[in-house]
């Protein structure tokens, strides 16, 4: 037997026993998981052509950005080329563009067809969350984590939109899956790098904000050397070599296929979407604290929010031990949430669709928390609470308190109130930890544990389903109606504006998407524009109306209003020029 095999055999024998599950076995959990997948599929396909939920985001992104994402796929389908203007979405989401084109080629173009791609990847993400949790824990943990992800309202509703974030999350989870499989075969480490590279370069650069490249490297040193960078010379770095090689292979392919031939437009789309940065450390901290609350992410998933923060407290209580002995999925989930929040705070613009990269680690941590609770046969407070632990707990509780106050709509003197609330909770936890009955230990019956978990799952499901039902009972098909109504325009019409991709989704007209960095020069003559689409909000035209009037006065002065459509937050005007 080789040294490597001996080491793996030893690790297997030393591995801690799996926590006790419910009073039923794997087959029951597999059956329940199958039911979850079926119901999750139904909820995603139901009213597939309908408009996004009005309260999904403060921005109009859910209404406009689907047209942006599929623009190159439509151009290839109807006009024969991927890069026909300055808005080259394929430069940052090539894989999504190609897959959408294949769907359009098979089933025709439209909102429902475009949304099939993210729905497929959302179900695959749920499946792989189940697999990665099952591998390092058991089917109970796998079911709980996948259940939370499957029915999380924000995740579910974004799965129904033709945006890149759902596909991005799949490749991030797939990277973790291959990282786990690397213990069986070195090649899988390379696949992990390939998946992570695809997520960032061929789906969306937002993948960098997950911090998974750094996290996986840290997890490698943690597992191989027993501690960060100790005995680093003794570490066999071949797995890390394969992982980095996978990343570089994707980078080379992207440079050859995308960047080299389309350098100018790729640079435009990468630099043109800059969201601004905080000017000082205080603005950065404010960005960090406001994540999850400004767009009501945590408000819509309060139980996941609570359970994941509880798990943070538990994990950091035994930080030194967990850094050495915790499973990869625990370590990765904790750092993914933490680094994801840190990196997202770098920009001033992070709508809820960007914050979606926080949902998988939140669901994983919530599943781990509930799984450990269900297996806790004997509750006993062990050891002393060190000063370091108390400080870490207070920082976590301060963040939790700040978000909790925003969740219940308390906006005055939030920092001061968060300090007071965090300190009070910490004091209560310290007193609770010191109580004599808990120092001795309290037995928790299996029925009580199973009932508690069951009630929490029901509560979570009802909260999420209530939000979904509010939307499903009052669906609108405004975008589909507008796009189909514009089929009446003459054949060969060319529509320009930020909304062009959306209003052309169900017809074959050419869409020229205008942004402040794309398709602004010589617009009318260069593309033969016949119609302009302008958004009217609060009685005032949006920025594109002023842009058209200022830069193309002759065309706009003689323009005729041919169509107008009422939208939830304004009016959409179509002008013939």
Element (H, E) at 378: strand 378-379
Place of tokens 């205080």: 282
| Per-residue pLDDT, 23 | 56
Examine the pLDDT at 417 and tell me if it is beyond 90: no
Examine the pLDDT at 40 and tell me if it is beyond 50: yes
**361 and 397, same domain (yes or no):** no
Q: In the chain, what is the straight-line distance between the N-terminal and C-terminal CA atoms, in Å?
A: 79
**460 and 531, same domain (yes or no):** no
User: Residue 274 — very low, low, confident or very high, per pLDDT cuts 50/70/90?
Assistant: low
Does residue 7 fall inside a structural domain?
no
- The parent domain of residue 389 ranges over 382-440
Interacting residues of 365 by C-beta distance below 8 A, sequence separation 6+? 307, 308, 311, 312, 333, 334, 337
Cα(510)–Cα(519) distance, rounded to whole angstroms? 14
**204 and 59, same domain (yes or no):** yes
pLDDT digits (tens, 9 = 90+) for 154-180: 999 999 999 999 999 999 999 999 999
Element (H, E) at 494: strand 494-496
**206 and 119, same domain (yes or no):** yes
The CATH number of the domain holding residue 524 is 3.40.190
- Cβ atoms 289, 350 nearer than 8 A: no
Cα(407)–Cα(544) distance, rounded to whole angstroms? 35
The token pair that represents 158 in the structure block: 């974004």
What pTM did the predictor assign? 0.90
Helix axes 26-45, 111-136, angle to 10 degrees: 160
**360 and 482, same domain (yes or no):** no
For residues 420-438, give the mean pLDDT: 85
For 295-363, the three-class secondary structure string (H helix, E strand, C coil) is: CCHHHHCHHHHHHHHHHHHHHHHCHHHHHHHCCHHHHHHHHHHHHHHHHHCCCCCCCCCCHHHHHHHHH
Torsion angle defined by CA atoms of residues 59, 298, 287 and 218, in that order, rounded to the nearest 10 degrees? -120
**27 and 108, same domain (yes or no):** yes
User: Residue 507 — very low, low, confident or very high, per pLDDT cuts 50/70/90?
Assistant: very high
| Per-residue pLDDT, 410 | 62
- Cβ atoms 287, 110 nearer than 8 A: no
DSSP secondary structure code for residue 163 in this structure: -
Does residue 2 fall inside a structural domain?
no
- Cβ atoms 162, 114 nearer than 8 A: yes
| Per-residue pLDDT, 269 | 86
For residues 35-40, give the mean pLDDT: 98
**352 and 394, same domain (yes or no):** no
Last residue of a domain, one of 423, 440, 457: 440
Domain count, the chain: 3
**428 and 496, same domain (yes or no):** no
pLDDT digits (tens, 9 = 90+) for 149-159: 999 999 999 99
For 527-556, the three-class secondary structure string (H helix, E strand, C coil) is: HCCCEEEEEEECCEECHHHHHHHHHCHHHH
Q: Which phi and psi angles does 438 have, rounded to 5°?
A: -80, -25
Q: Helices in 473-538 by DSSP H: which ranges?
A: 478-485, 500-503, 523-527
Parallel/antiparallel/unpaired status of strands 510-512 and 494-496: parallel
Q: Which phi and psi angles does 66 have, rounded to 5°?
A: -60, -40
Count of CA atoms in the C-beta half-sphere (13 A) of 373: 22
Cα(577)–Cα(572) distance, rounded to whole angstroms? 16
Does residue 12 fall inside a structural domain?
no
**145 and 91, same domain (yes or no):** yes
User: Residue 11 — very low, low, confident or very high, per pLDDT cuts 50/70/90?
Assistant: very low
Does residue 529 fall inside a structural domain?
yes
Interacting residues of 461 by C-beta distance below 8 A, sequence separation 6+? 151
| Per-residue pLDDT, 411 | 63
Neighbour count for residue 494 (Cβ, 10 Å): 17
**407 and 269, same domain (yes or no):** no
Cα(559)–Cα(553) distance, rounded to whole angstroms? 10
Does residue 1 fall inside a structural domain?
no
Cα(454)–Cα(475) distance, rounded to whole angstroms? 31
Count of CA atoms in the C-beta half-sphere (13 A) of 415: 5
User: Residue 22 — very low, low, confident or very high, per pLDDT cuts 50/70/90?
Assistant: low
165 vs 445, residue with greater confidence: 165
- Cβ atoms 179, 216 nearer than 8 A: yes
pLDDT digits (tens, 9 = 90+) for 66-112: 999 999 999 999 999 999 999 999 999 999 999 999 999 999 999 99
Torsion angle defined by CA atoms of residues 353, 119, 156 and 195, in that order, rounded to the nearest 10 degrees? -60
| Per-residue pLDDT, 135 | 92
Does residue 534 fall inside a structural domain?
yes
**58 and 196, same domain (yes or no):** yes
**278 and 210, same domain (yes or no):** yes
Cα(362)–Cα(503) distance, rounded to whole angstroms? 35
Does residue 6 fall inside a structural domain?
no
For 131-159, the three-class secondary structure string (H helix, E strand, C coil) is: HHHHHHCCHHHHHHHHHHHHHCHHHHHHH
pLDDT digits (tens, 9 = 90+) for 524-570: 999 999 999 999 987 788 899 999 999 999 888 889 999 999 998 89
| Per-residue pLDDT, 200 | 94
| Per-residue pLDDT, 77 | 96
| Per-residue pLDDT, 271 | 80
Examine the pLDDT at 4 and tell me if it is beyond 70: no
Q: Left (φ > 0), alpha (ψ -120 to 50) or beta: where does 284 sit?
A: alpha
Place of tokens 């669906």: 475
| Per-residue pLDDT, 1 | 42
For residues 484-490, give the mean pLDDT: 96
- Cβ atoms 74, 504 nearer than 8 A: yes
Does residue 512 fall inside a structural domain?
yes
């Amino acid at each position: 037997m080789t040294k490597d095999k001996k080491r793996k055999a030893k690790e297997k024998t030393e591995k801690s026993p799996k926590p006790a599950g419910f009073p039923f076995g794997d087959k029951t959990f597999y059956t329940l998981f199958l039911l979850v997948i079926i119901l999750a599929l139904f909820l995603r396909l139901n009213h597939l052509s309908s408009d996004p939920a009005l309260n999904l985001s403060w921005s109009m992104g859910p209404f406009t950005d689907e047209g942006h994402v599929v623009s190159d796929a439509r151009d290839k389908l109807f006009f024969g080329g991927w890069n026909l203007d300055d808005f080259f979405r394929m430069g940052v989401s090539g894989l999504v563009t190609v897959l959408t084109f294949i769907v359009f080629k098979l089933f025709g173009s439209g909102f429902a067809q475009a949304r099939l791609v993210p729905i497929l990847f959302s179900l695959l993400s749920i499946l792989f969350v189940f697999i990665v949790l099952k591998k390092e824990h058991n089917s109970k943990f796998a079911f709980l984590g996948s259940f939370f992800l499957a029915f999380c309202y924000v995740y579910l509703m974004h799965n129904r939109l033709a945006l890149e974030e759902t596909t991005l999350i799949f490749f991030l989870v797939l990277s973790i899956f291959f990282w786990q499989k690397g213990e069986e075969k070195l090649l899988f480490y390379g696949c992990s790098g390939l998946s992570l590279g695809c997520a960032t370069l061929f789906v969306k650069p937002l993948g960098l904000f997950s911090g998974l490249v750094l996290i996986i490297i840290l997890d490698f040193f943690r597992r191989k050397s027993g501690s960060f960078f100790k005995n680093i010379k003794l570490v066999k770095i071949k797995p890390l070599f394969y992982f980095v090689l996978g990343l570089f292979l994707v980078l080379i392919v992207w440079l050859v296929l995308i960047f080299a031939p389309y350098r100018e437009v790729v640079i435009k789309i990468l630099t043109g979407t800059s969201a601004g940065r905080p000017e000082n450390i205080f603005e950065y901290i404010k960005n960090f604290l406001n994540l999850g609350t400004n767009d009501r992410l945590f408000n819509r998933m309060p139980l996941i929010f609570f359970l994941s923060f509880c798990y943070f407290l538990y994990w950091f209580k035994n930080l030194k031990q967990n850094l050495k002995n915790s499973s990869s999925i625990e370590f990765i989930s904790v750092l993914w949430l933490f680094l994801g929040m840190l990196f997202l705070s770098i920009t001033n613009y992070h709508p809820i669709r960007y914050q979606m990269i926080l949902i998988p680690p939140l669901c994983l941590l919530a599943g781990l928390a509930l799984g450990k609770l269900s297996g806790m046969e004997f509750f006993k407070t062990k050891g002393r609470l060190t000063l370091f632990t108390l400080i870490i707990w207070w920082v976590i509780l301060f963040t939790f308190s700040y978000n909790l106050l925003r969740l219940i709509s308390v906006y005055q003197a939030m920092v001061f109130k968060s300090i007071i609330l965090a300190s009070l909770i910490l004091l209560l936890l310290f007193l609770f930890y010191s109580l004599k009955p808990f120092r001795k230990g309290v037995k928790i019956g299996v029925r009580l544990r199973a009932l508690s978990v069951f009630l929490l799952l029901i509560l979570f499901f009802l909260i999420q389903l209530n939000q979904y039902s509010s939307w499903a009972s009052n669906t609108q098909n405004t975008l589909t109606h507008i796009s189909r109504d514009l089929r009446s325009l003459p054949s060969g019409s060319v529509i320009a504006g930020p909304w062009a991709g959306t209003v052309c989704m169900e017809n074959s007209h050419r869409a020229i998407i205008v942004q402040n960095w794309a398709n602004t020069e010589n617009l009318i003559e260069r593309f033969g524009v016949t119609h302009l689409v302008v958004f009217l909000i609060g009685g005032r035209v949006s920025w594109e109306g002023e842009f058209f009037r200022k830069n193309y006065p002759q065309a706009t002065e003689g323009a005729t209003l041919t169509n107008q459509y009422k939208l939830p937050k304004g009016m959409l005007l179509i002008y013939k020029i």
